[in-house]
């Protein structure tokens, strides 16, 4: 599958990382060095995002499952661990339900929303994209050069904008503005992307940023309907994209969510 761009590094059990709408695999860069001593990490650009070219018909949940099944086979991955943020969290849960992975960690997953929450989230994403497309480069560089400016540009997405470097903010803005997969993904999201589960028989962790301003955190009882045995976490100080807000915390959640003892426990509970 030579049209999916990815980075592969580290050693240990494989862990595939999936970004959200308008983002790119570099979203995971702050946590990857903390993971690679313990996991083989594969960070992926979804079709039409980052450096992966668009792919016709690749933008629903079912097509995404087919894409990842092919991707896993090509890389020789037998049911890897998977983790995702936002859209990536939704796809991770769907991969878990389909039995294609051995554990799931979902950070602020899409698809667990009410109709009102869905409309708000998609509206916010469209607004961010429109701003990214229309902002003059000179203005963007001036804003990104200060902590206050980075808060203006990214404060709805992350909890601690000052921790982002100017280059990361600018590159993320360009990725959002230029992604050919953005429009078809949101088109599919308007007509579906409601995930009801259940995901069972494998370890599941669902973590939500304390200050997520894009997706409201569902009630615990509603999350239990989607993943009855899931570990439910709130990430203090973090926003919708928590990887740069607290890399150590996020890395710890990822390592715990994919540890061998959890796999044994899930197998025992399922027997």
Tens of pLDDT, residue by residue over 145-197, are 999 999 999 999 999 999 999 999 999 999 999 999 999 999 988 776 789 99
pLDDT tier for residue 224 given thresholds of 50, 70 and 90: very high
Residue 131 clears pLDDT 80, i.e. is over it? yes
First to last CA, the chain: 36
Residue 125 clears pLDDT 80, i.e. is over it? yes
For residue 2, the model assigns a pLDDT of 75
For residue 188, the model assigns a pLDDT of 86
> What distance lies between CA 94 and its chain's CA centroid?
13
Closest CA to 158 of 253, 45, 257, 23: 23
Query: What is the value of pTM for the model shown?
Result: 0.95
Q: Which domains does the chain have, with CATH numbers?
A: 6-270 (3.40.50.1820)
How far CA 188 is from CA of 14, 82, 111, 120, 195, in Å, comes to 29, 22, 12, 16, 13
Residue 68 clears pLDDT 90, i.e. is over it? yes
pLDDT tier for residue 244 given thresholds of 50, 70 and 90: very high
Please state which of the ranges 19-33, 123-137, 147-161, 248-262 shows the lowest mean pLDDT.
Answer: 248-262
Q: Which helix (H) or strand (E) holds 244?
A: none
For residue 263, the model assigns a pLDDT of 59
For residue 269, the model assigns a pLDDT of 58
- Could you write out the DSSP letters of every residue in 119-147? HHHHHHHHHHHHHHHHS-HHHHHHHHTSH
């Amino acid at each position: 599958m030579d049209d999916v761009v990815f980075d592969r590094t580290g050693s240990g059990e494989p862990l595939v990382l999936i970004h959200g709408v308008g983002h790119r695999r570099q979203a995971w860069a702050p946590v990857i060095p903390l993971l690679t001593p313990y996991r083989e990490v594969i960070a992926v650009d979804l079709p039409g995002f980052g450096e992966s070219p668009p792919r016709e018909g690749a933008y629903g949940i079912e097509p995404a499952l087919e894409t990842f099944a092919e991707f896993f086979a090509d890389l020789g991955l037998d049911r890897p661990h998977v983790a995702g943020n936002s859209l990536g969290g939704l796809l991770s849960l769907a991969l878990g339900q389909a039995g294609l992975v051995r554990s799931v960690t979902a950070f602020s997953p899409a698809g667990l929303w009410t109709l009102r929450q869905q409309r708000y989230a998609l509206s916010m994403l469209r607004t961010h994209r429109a701003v990214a497309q229309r902002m003059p480069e000179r203005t963007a560089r001036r804003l990104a050069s200060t902590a206050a400016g980075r808060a203006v540009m990214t404060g709805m997405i992350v909890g601690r904008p000052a921790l982002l470097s100017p280059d990361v903010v600018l590159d993320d803005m360009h990725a959002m503005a230029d992604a050919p997969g953005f429009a078809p993904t949101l088109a599919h999201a308007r007509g579906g992307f409601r995930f009801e589960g259940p995901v069972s028989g494998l370890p599941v962790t669902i973590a939500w940023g304390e200050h997520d301003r894009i997706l409201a955190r569902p009630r615990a009882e509603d999350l239990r309907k989607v993943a009855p045995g899931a570990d439910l976490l709130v990430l203090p100080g973090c926003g919708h994209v928590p990887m740069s807000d607290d890399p150590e915390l996020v890395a710890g959640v990822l390592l715990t969510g994919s540890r061998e003892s959890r796999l044994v426990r899930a197998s025992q509970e399922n027997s």
